[in-house]
Amino acid sequence: MTSAALDDLSADGTMPKAEDKRAHPARVLIYGMNYAPELAGVGKYTGEIAEYLAKEGTDVTVVTTPPHYPGWAVQSGYRNAYGSTVENGVRVLRAPLLLRRRMSGIWRMLAPLSFALTSAPVAFWQILRRRPDTVFCVEPTLFASPVAQLAAALIGARTVLHVQDLEVDAAFAVGHLGAYGFLKKLGFAFERFTLKRFDKVITISNRMAEKLVAKGVAPENMALVRNWVDLTHIYPMEDESPYRAELGFAKDDFVVLYSGNIGAKQGLNVLLDAAEQLKDETKIHFVIAGEGPVKADLQARYGHLPNLRFLPFQPYARLNEFLNMADLHALPQDKGAADLVLPSKLGGMLASGKPVLVTADEGTELAEFVRGAAIVVPPGDAGEMALSIGEVAGKARRSMPIDQLILVRGLSAHDVLPQIGGLFDAVPRAR
């Protein structure tokens, strides 16, 4: 995280006096397959947690992979190999993993399994050597957790799991492993065995917390911490975004933007079916920005549309300008995954101050979470989505509704990040 120091919140939610500031644990080891400088998803959040703790004076070690998500290819400047660096005050050790461009089916399980195998000796040795107070695992991937739990038990460290994605549920819900029925029983058995052995489990949504309790996590060991957004970096712009002119959009063009991972869970085919239905509306344009395993398929299927363009991820330094380019943000999701995750990209969409359209069934947490702050349409219904986009375009609505503003303030990094450090202190050490 690049912002200045973030103040802690005391237990009652008020700002503490200087002499009352919480003392973070002296040493933390973070173990997960996604980490900065990945800009999308889990890696971004784990990187900000590590850097926040380091700025608070904690000795932080991270065991992770080379940055590879969401394109499933190692980023320029990195190698798919073992390596060690110090990045923004954090000691980062990277281990290779199995990668290929089309990460679907059994390959979506082999990638995290390969990381669990290649990183196991690194994580085990670092825990024994550095004797952290807290071993902080991140899901995905849960496969790596048993080694960390064993090493933590040997030194008496507390163990905390941050569940960003119910990866076993999601893998079967979107059909990655539909042909491997025996893996489902094995995966859920492993999940239950592992989850119950963490001292604390943190997750990002109420529905995910309920599912984790059903999988065997004791309710008293659960904590909810929403994903956050840096409101000093993402905010409504007073002037028009320079991206509109750079991309050739006129002032009266209506731009629908999706920016993020392009994978099976996102259900982008529905959004692009809506784009096809609106292809004769010459002032409505669709932009899909990002990378992911289904991008090439979507380009092949929809690339002929005159109102659609695909872009790569844009630089983080210009993310606010890019998000402010939109007249409407679209957040589609596959119906099978819609209640398994609360998408991390939602915070940035809302913080830009532009209208947001999400797909979610009534009664799901996402639908309840954005009620009054976003437009909600049923997942899988391209016709309803096209209709809603046309209605918003007709109104040319660009102002931030009060419910959206309230929701964004509740997701501020300034308020959310200190909660995680505070949870470390609340878990007693085993030694």
CATH number, residue 391: 3.40.50.2000
Pick from 301, 320, 158: which is nearest to 243 by CA? 320
Does pLDDT of 174 surpass 80?
Answer: no
Question: Does 5 fall in a domain?
Answer: no
Looking at per-residue pLDDT, the higher value among 26 and 183 belongs to: 26
pLDDT at position 14: 36
The answer to whether 331 and 358 are in contact (CB under 8 A) is yes
- The Cα 37–Cα 59 span in angstroms is 20
**Is there a domain that residue 97 lies in?**
yes
Query: What integer pLDDT is reported at residue 111 of this predicted model?
Result: 87
Q: Assign 220 a pLDDT band (cuts: 50, 70, 90).
A: very high
pLDDT over 60 at 18, yes or no: no
* Inside any domain, residue 118: yes
- The total number of structural domains in the chain stands at 2
- The confidence band for 136, taking pLDDT boundaries of 50, 70 and 90, is very high
User: Both 98 and 61 in a single domain?
Assistant: yes
Q: What is the mean pLDDT of the chain?
A: 86
Q: For 290-329, give one letter per residue: b (16+ CB within 10 A) or e.
A: bbbbbbeebeeebeeeebbebeebbeeeebbbbbbbbbbb
Residue 225 clears pLDDT 90, i.e. is over it? yes
Neighbours of 361 (CB within 10 A): 14
Which segment of 4-13, 101-110, 349-358 scores lowest on mean pLDDT? 4-13
Q: Is residue 288 part of a domain?
A: yes
pLDDT at position 240: 95
Helices 42-55, 413-426: axis angle to 10 degrees equals 70
Contact call for residues 35 and 5 (beta carbons, < 8 A): no
Report residue 387's pLDDT band, with 50, 70 and 90 as the boundaries: very high
Q: Looking at the predicted structure, is the pLDDT value of residue 5 above 60?
A: no
Identity at 80, one-letter amino acid code: N
Q: What are phi and psi of 152, to 5 degrees?
A: -65, -40
Query: Is residue 11 predicted with pLDDT exceeding 90?
Result: no
Does residue 29 or residue 368 have the better pLDDT? 29
| Same structural domain, 29 and 159 | yes
Residue indicated by tokens 């799901």: 364
- The confidence score (pLDDT) of residue 333 equals 86
Asked, as a colleague might, if the bond just before 141 is cis with ω within 30 of 0, I would say yes
What confidence score (pLDDT) does residue 43 get? 94
Residues whose CB falls within 8 Å of the CB of residue 49, separated by 6 or more in sequence, listed in order: 30, 136, 162, 417, 420
116 & 38 share domain: yes
The mean pLDDT of 239-250, rounded to a whole number, is 96
Q: What is the pTM of this model?
A: 0.85
Query: Same domain, yes or no, for 302 and 382?
Result: yes
pLDDT of 8 strictly over 60: no
Domain ranges, residue 144: 18-228+412-426
Range from 7-16, 141-150, 336-345 carrying the lowest mean pLDDT: 7-16
Among residues 5, 107, 99, 2, the alpha carbon closest in space to that of 47 is found at: 2
Residues 209 and 249 in one domain: no
Q: Do the domain assignments include residue 236? A: no
253 and 373 together in one domain = yes
Task: Tell me: do 386 and 422 sit in the same domain.
Answer: no
One domain, residues 112 and 251: no
Give mean pLDDT, residues 20-43.
Answer: 82
Determine the pLDDT at residue 177.
54
Q: Is the pLDDT of residue 102 over 80?
A: no
Whether residues 255 and 128 share a domain: the answer is no
Q: What is residue 3's predicted lDDT score, i.e. its pLDDT?
A: 32
Residue 144 CB burial class (10 angstroms; 0-12, 13-18, ≥19): buried
What is residue 105's predicted lDDT score, i.e. its pLDDT? 64
Contact 142, 191 (CB under 8 A): yes
Max Cα-Cα span within the chain = 68
List, in order, residues 6 or more apart from 108 with CB less than 8 Å away: 171, 176, 177
1 falls in which pLDDT band (50, 70, 90)? very low
Highest mean pLDDT among 10-24, 197-211, 384-398 belongs to 197-211
Distance CA(324)–CA(320), nearest Å, equals 6
Cα–Cα nearest to 347, from 225, 266, 228, 208: 228
How many angstroms separate the CA atoms of 425 and 429, rounded? 9
d(CA 141, CA 111): 10
Same domain, residue pair 420 and 393:
no
pLDDT above 70 covers a percentage of the chain that reads 86
